[in-house]
Amino acid sequence: MAAEGLITLRSSFGPEETMNRFEAEVRAKGMTVFAHIDHAAGAAAVGLPLRPTDLLIFGAAKGGTPLMQVAQTIGIDLPLKALVWQDEAGTTFLSYNDPAYLTQRHGLSESTNPLVEAMSGAVKAIAAKATMTPE
């Protein structure tokens, strides 16, 4: 069952390469990487098994700040996050919150639509580059 507001793409690459590609593209777009959390390493540190599960927290103040100026509560969901994970069959996926869903969640006005559409387009393009083999 898919989580509401979550976009998930199947990756053509393994978990490490998918995350490396995603992070490189985030940086190439001039965004800031705020944190990189390797959940599987954390689990291993306490003796628990977990398939690859890697989180990147990223964004740009130029895009997020105007949204927080309208509704500060969106700060709980910003900066943006992307999760690279591997299922039990060994398939790698990349999941991220849909920026349009976040604006609905926090009741942002239609005045933010152009900014949200730009943010959504940027994340969609980054995710596609990270997960798909060029044709």
Per-residue pLDDT tens over the stretch 2-59: 789 999 999 999 999 999 999 999 999 999 999 999 999 999 999 999 999 999 999 9
**3-class DSSP string for the chain:** CCCCCEEEEECCCCHHHHHHHHHHHHHHCCCEEEEEEEHHHHHHHCCCCCCCEEEEEEECHHHHHHHHHHCHHHHHCCCEEEEEEECCCCCEEEEEECHHHHHHHCCCCHHHHHHHHHHHHHHHHHHHHHHCCCC
Percent of the chain with pLDDT over 90: 95
In a domain, 74, yes or no: yes
pLDDT band for position 133 (cuts 50, 70, 90): confident
Per-residue pLDDT tens over the stretch 79-128: 999 999 999 999 999 999 999 999 999 999 999 999 999 999 999 999 99
Q: What's the burial of 58, exposed, middle or buried (CB within 10 Å: 0-12/13-18/19+)?
A: buried
Distance CA 52, CA 14 (A): 10
Q: Which domain holds residue 24?
A: 7-131
What domain count does the chain have? Answer: 1
Give the residue with greater pLDDT, 1 vs 70: 70
In a domain, 2, yes or no: no
Asked if residue 58 lies in contact with residue 93, where contact means CB atoms within 8 angstroms, the answer is no
In a domain, 1, yes or no: no
The enclosing domain of 61 has a CATH number of 3.30.310.70
In a domain, 12, yes or no: yes
In a domain, 33, yes or no: yes
